[in-house]
Amino acid sequence: MKTQAFQLIKNGKAEDAFAFNQIELPTITDEELIIETEAFGLNYADVMARNGLYRECPPLPAVIGYEVVGVIIQAGKKVNQDLIGKRVVAFCRFGGYAKHVITKEYAVVEIEDMDAGEALCLATQYVTAYYMSEYLAPVHKSDKVLIHAAAGGVGTALIQLLKLKQAHIIAKTSTRSKEAYLHEQGVDYIVYHTEEPYEKSVDAYLGEERLDVSFNPVAGSTFKKDFALLGSGGRLVLFGGSERSGKKWGILSTLNFVRKMGLMLPIGLMIRSKNVLGVNMLKIADNKPHILKYCLQEVVNLAQENKINPQVGSRFTSNQLAAAHDFLESGKSTGKIIVTF
């Protein structure tokens, strides 16, 4: 079938990178379904893809985007036909910036009349946060946790999930304009990396104690700093590389980014009893879809039980896609950015 989509046609500035075109969707398989899209969400990986820095991005022209809210209008033979007509939040393996999206049954959860923006918060951001803090490296009561980019989508999700566990949360952010938002979410201490080296602020705050967990989507120079702040049994969870974004020297910037992270021998991790964990939710979706389904259903349940409060930071319409991308890339946003058709 034919539909319309925002195609990423070139790398670079958001205003030049996308074109709204008619595209042909492939015929669905017996295991797939089609969603008529109401809205889609933005993630920092989209910015990386737009800048040509995301290795998972399909060859251009491509339709990017990981999550949508909409109504299922068609289902393959092996899909539960009762899903047709249901309003869902769904993951997609790219393709989200389109009026119709193909995905699989394990990637959808019914949401009834839940606000589209709140539901989109739950997809990538809350599922990523839930997977990291509940499934991969469970956080415990009184653990001391550092959250980078704490006012963003995943940061907000981590704060809310970890407050349920009564963890002690140190939030890292850029400016004091986000202070009220972070205190409202329930953090215990805030460090501003634009005012002073964040590692010194965290070290002074901890005193003789050390971090139990750092959730880090920045990498680069922050890797060694976080590793030094960890205590015995500490876990450094890497789930992004935003420090590489925005650098204009191509392969030289990439090599410098890698150099700053340094080399690490496994024996050193054992001797220090420290842990480094990498997270790529696309790989989890590809190879362990049952985990993705479980995490998505759990965060939808938590939202419906009012145990978490998904935060929609900004809403844009589909003719404002470039502005939405620029805002996300600026680092000034809080919560989730969504785009509605």
* Tokens describing residue 32: 């797939």
For 312-322, the pLDDT digits (tens) are 989 999 999 99
Distance between CA atoms of residues 316 and 337, nearest Å: 8
What is the predicted pLDDT for the residue at 259? 55
What is the predicted pLDDT for the residue at 255? 60
For 246-304, the pLDDT digits (tens) are 555 455 555 655 656 666 767 777 778 899 999 988 899 889 999 999 999 999 999 99
Same domain, 131 and 173: yes
Domain end (from 241, 262, 281): 281
Number of domains in the chain: 2
Q: Is the pTM of this model over 0.85?
A: no
Phi/psi of residue 158, nearest 5 degrees: -60, -45
Domain end (from 239, 263, 281): 281
Sign of the CA dihedral running 26, 29, 33, 39: negative
| Neighbouring C-alpha atoms within 13 Å toward the C-beta of 53 | 24
Same domain, 99 and 184: no
- Where residue 20 falls (left for φ over 0; alpha for ψ -120 to 50; beta otherwise) is beta
Distance between CA atoms of residues 140 and 138, nearest Å: 6
* Tokens describing residue 122: 């739950």
Same domain, 157 and 64: no
Distance between CA atoms of residues 304 and 313, nearest Å: 20
pLDDT score of 117 more than 90: yes
Residue 63 lies in a domain: yes
Same domain, 276 and 134: yes
What is the predicted pLDDT for the residue at 248? 56
Calculate mean pLDDT across residues 317-333.
93
335 exposure class (CB count in 10 Å sphere: 0-12, 13-18, 19+): buried
Cβ-Cβ contacts under 8 Å for 38 (sequence gap 6 or more): 68, 69, 70, 71, 87, 116, 340, 341
CATH number of residue 40's parent domain: 3.90.180.10
Q: What angle do CA 191, 194, 199 make, to 5 degrees?
A: 50
What is the predicted pLDDT for the residue at 147? 97
Give the domain extent around 199: 126-281
Closest among 128, 129, 116, 165 to 144, alpha carbons compared? 165
